[in-house]
Amino acid sequence: MFDDENAEYLVVVNGEEQYSIWPATRDLPGGWTAVGAPRPRKECLDHIESVWTDMRPKSVREALENAGSLIAQGSRMVLSQLVDADELKAMSPEELRNMLASLDDDVIYGEDGNVIEPNPGPEVA
């Protein structure tokens, strides 16, 4: 059904911005929308290859973008507690990277400023 080179197909996309082809003579499956007019299979596949450059579902891309934003905000908050704002503005990107690299990732501070001991989990023999 999907490998007939002589049939006409539609490029279809779902809510997660994932693409596929669908036979033009069949009803679209639920949750999918046609993009453009019916065309030969090869043209559909070429179109998908040109527009679908990030294979991750939309929800995954957005979650990762939001996580990156939260990490950046957290890093700025941590740095603002460690360094005067004017000193921070004067630092080169390399100096900032070195400062972040020197931070101890294993130390977590509570709201009171005291170190929170991480849960070591079960001992491995």
Model pLDDT for residues 3-46, shown as the tens digit of each residue: 788 899 999 999 999 999 999 999 999 999 999 999 999 999 99
- Show Cβ contacts of residue 22 under 8 Å, excluding neighbours closer than 6 positions: 9, 10, 12, 28, 29, 32, 34
pTM above 0.85?
A: no
Q: Which of 7, 35, 42 is nearest to 19 (CA)?
A: 35
**Whole-number Å distance between alpha carbons of 58 and 13:** 11
Alpha helices in the chain (DSSP H): 41-51, 58-82, 85-90, 93-102
pLDDT bracket for residue 109 (50, 70, 90): low
Q: What is the pLDDT of residues 67-103, one digit of tens each?
A: 655 555 566 566 666 666 677 667 777 777 676 666 6
Check residue 13 and give its pLDDT.
96
In the block, which residue shows the tokens 């499956």? 29
